[in-house]
Structure 1
Amino acid sequence: MDRRTFLSGATVAAASVATACADGSQPAGSSPAAPAINRGVKRLRMVTTWPANFPGLGTAANNLAAYANAMSGGTLEIRVYAAGEIVSAFEVFDAVSEGTADMYHGAEYYWQGKSPAFNFFTAVPLGMTAMEIMGWVESGGGQALWDELSGQFNIKPFQAGNSGHQMGGWFKREINTLDDFRGLRMRIPGLGGNVLRELGGAAVTLSGGEIYPALQSGAIDATEWVGPWNDLAFGFYREAPFYYGPGFHEPGSCLGVGVNLQVWEGLDADHQAIIQNACRAANNVSLAEFQYQNAIALKVLVEQHGVELRSFTDEMWARIGEIAEQVVADTGNADPFTRRVYDSYFEARNTMRGWGRISEMPYLAQRERAIGG
């Protein structure tokens, strides 16, 4: 892909006319010269919530920048800064909102203190899968609501990554009954943390780089992070041998990019289009990477490191479902705007569930029966 892909014919034609008529005339019968683009490089600083070059999360931000830089033909340069290089992980939103940085890459539910509506643009317990949230944002009205939400904070948002279905987490001890959640200190952000609290546990929010030391020191008893690919990289198996899945809390976690609104509005139309499509490309590549790399990493965890896979019981799922429904509904009714997001989200989820019931769900079940093993 190159920069010309994103220039409309009308834009090129307008540029040609402007160049040809710059002196107010054009010799009859002559062909106008090709327009010369003469502008400086637009440099943007993107801060992230991730450790430098962290697989899947940090590299999604790197990919986005690389795609945008390449497609611009050298006229756009996005430089990526890991958490802590300019601001800490949880300060990136304010940095972009206030103009200290131009862009961020992170998970929107980190900003739930600004508005509970942000949860719906990452993941909510028993909510949308990765493909479903992509469908809602791109085609079901989600982007317009997200624009309205982030616009209140001087930010223009985009999807720019998805980790797919996340695992339930790493535990130092087995979780066999609902009572085992009582008193459990677990790193789990977002509304999943609210569910854990209702189960009697203590939810802790930590950035990625803080998790392993907390697990090692005993400050927490368990942690969720993402899935096998990222979890292997952090080495959680060395501290907590029991690996539970699937997770209830993040069935398809959207990662977001936010651009300072004045910066966004100050960009040329072609640079805006490049950033938007670089975000889409990063989103697609991210989901593909997680789908494949999680499978490879899970094999390594089990076969090389002796990780014990566990599942929550049906009794746990039933209770989690009851709690999750109430937690998400309470969040959705927090204020009139969040209620609009909640209604749109679940209208889209329920619409897509109807298709899923006769497509992927039965197909995957039948495929497992057919191929066995």
Structure 2
Amino acid sequence: MTLPLQGIRVLELARTVAGPFCSMTLADMGAEVIKIEEPGRGDDVRYLAPQVDGVSSVFALVNRNKRSVTLDLRLEESQCVLHELVKSCDIVAENFSTGVVDKYNLSYEVLSSINPRLIYCSVSGYGRQGEFARRPGFDPVVQADAGLFSINGAADGPPTRIAAPIVDVGSGMSALNAILAALYTREKTGRGQYVEVALFDVAVALSSYFAMNYLMTGSSPNRLGNDSSTSQPVGLFSASNGTFYLSCSNDRSFRKLAACIDAPALVDDPRFATNADRCANGDALREELAAIFNTMDCDTIVGEMLTAGVPVGRTFTIGEALESPVARSRGTVSNAVRANGRPVPNVKAPFDLHGTPLLAPKACPELGEANQWFLDEILGCDEARAAELAAAGVFGQ
């Protein structure tokens, strides 16, 4: 069966997470992704902990289904080799520091003059133009700049980082959206285009209605921890042997909760009659519920609430979540095989296409694993030309 992006070729000039996440998803859809890495070292995240069998978990996550080619981009010969490759590429994805692509003759202006159908995606911290263009941008730093720290953490605690790299991943997803839109547009116009994603813009977008709250009221939202200012009962609750998160955002779900725990008096109590009443009397409601939940078995009460249609979830560890019945039923964890035959587990793409399935996962590549393939299939080199490139140090010394 045909893969969604079969026949699309991607040149990845990206490192760390945001850019590679984007091109990894393109690879999941069947695009051929050629990842260019620094000879002898490669992507910095190859060396991040934890390492298992010589593979970084971070690198393994965002580099499945790719080919790795090493090129010394400082050399004019290497730049010429990439210019040859660009002739047959559909997409370039880069997240170098601002100015690097100009230094290496790999800018959109240069590459689009070689291939006018090229879609060139640039991912940066704060955009490629303006006074902040050269400002380094990493996920937690941008979280802080965009206000995400200020709304995360306990109400009486310090501003807190969101541990998961949501800005990096969100930027990769945003880049993917922009690229797919540009591909569709190219079908109508015959031309590629430059698309840009800034981590700061993504972080602000991820703040969602918190940003809108400020824009419409002029007041910055406060940290609430696990609580909510708009709905009750919402938050973390303790059973006799575990914790769970409850989110009753309307009167209907509150009535279901009261019936489930055999507490009809809660519904009849005028303090809790409407969501507005429950928000005004949130502490009192939490006390009532805590007294009930503390006597119950966690799995039992969560199961009963789920059966009743109450929005609730156990507070699992990452390991428990990946081993959970939901993860097993969704096939969330996949296994891929490295070139050396050893398996590497991975988290599957967060979407399914039922008419055009995704590519079966292949593990992240070894550094320079595809160099010979690149010589043979992309450049069509004879032995003399291959020796000439090797002598020039194009693929590293």
Same fold (TM over 0.5): no
TM bucket (normalised to shorter chain) is under 0.3
Higher helix share: 1
Q: Whose radius of gyration is greater, 1 or 2?
A: 2
TM-score normalised to the size of structure 1?
0.26
